[in-house]
Amino acid sequence: MAAVDRLEPAARAYLDLLAGCLTRELFLDQEWWDADLREWPGDVEALRAELRARGWRIVRRSDPAARAEGRDWPPTAETMVGTARTSNVVDCCVEAVLDGVPGDFAETGVWRGGTTILMRGVLRALDDRDRRVWVADSFEGLPAPAPDAHPTDAAIDWSHVEVLKVGADEVRSNFARYGLLDDRVRFLEGWFADTLPGAPIEQLAVLRLDGDLYGSTMDALRALEPKVAPGGFVIVDDYGGWEPCRTAVEDYRAEHGITAEIHAVDWTGVWWRKP
């Protein structure tokens, strides 16, 4: 039985609604993307000129399958992780609280904040008044790779990708939109190597990693995995889709003798529970 099945119906309905709003899956019929004009069958440059002259744009509807699987970058949603991974976050957080696992919730790499908003929503739904949610991000996008230190990162330089650069104030506004911004939400602003080792986090019940790169993933694991309480959960967003992330996780687990079974969430997300 999934942990969410242990919730009261009203709490479960609230979390289902919150997740559907954060992914925008409830509103895909109102969401439009700019069409890829490279697929236009005629003269693309002539079309671009005509559109510019008229102040028009060509758009297409969002793809429900891509959104559900977390395979697109939504234009407005607060998260891009999709249905299976949002459900996994809820399930792990609910189980940790109902099983009495001590500690806070944290995510390293939050983009627009959707997953941490959902974590705070779990605390609201369960009337948990003690735990905090830690929101850790550079809020400047991905770092430039350091191939000398982490060779597996060498081929991935997304430091220039503007859509990934979401400021802390925007994330705070997203929390506020859902009525979930309060003193229980704590921001850690800066590169993980600078902010996580000294972060005032005493213990964690759920740690979620979404750092993409080897260096970012390893920085988060080294600083925070030892703070995960027995019975707590470690969730990794990029394990299946990003080789540098997977290598960092495997290296860390081997280095620390972690043998807890890794469970797949979907095509990229995984989790394990600390014995």
The model's confidence at residue 223, banded by pLDDT at 50, 70 and 90, is very high
Give mean pLDDT, residues 193-207: 98
Give mean pLDDT, residues 253-267: 98
For residue 42, is pLDDT > 70? yes
- Give 29 or 238, the one with higher predicted confidence: 238
Out of 148-157, 229-238, 244-253, least confident range: 148-157
The domain limits of the chain are 31-61, 82-273
For residue 35, is pLDDT > 70? no
The model's confidence at residue 59, banded by pLDDT at 50, 70 and 90, is low
| Domain 82-273: CATH class, spelled out | alpha beta
* Averaged pLDDT score across all residues of the chain: 93
For residue 204, is pLDDT > 90? yes
pTM of the shown model: 0.91
For residue 273, is pLDDT > 70? yes
For residue 212, is pLDDT > 70? yes
Residue-wise pLDDT tens digits, 2-33: 888 889 999 999 999 999 999 999 988 877 65
For residue 256, is pLDDT > 70? yes
Give mean pLDDT, residues 58-85: 87
Pairing of strands 133-137, 104-108: parallel
Residue 30 has a pLDDT of 78
CA distance 86 to 20: 9
Out of 27-31, 197-201, 208-212, least confident range: 27-31
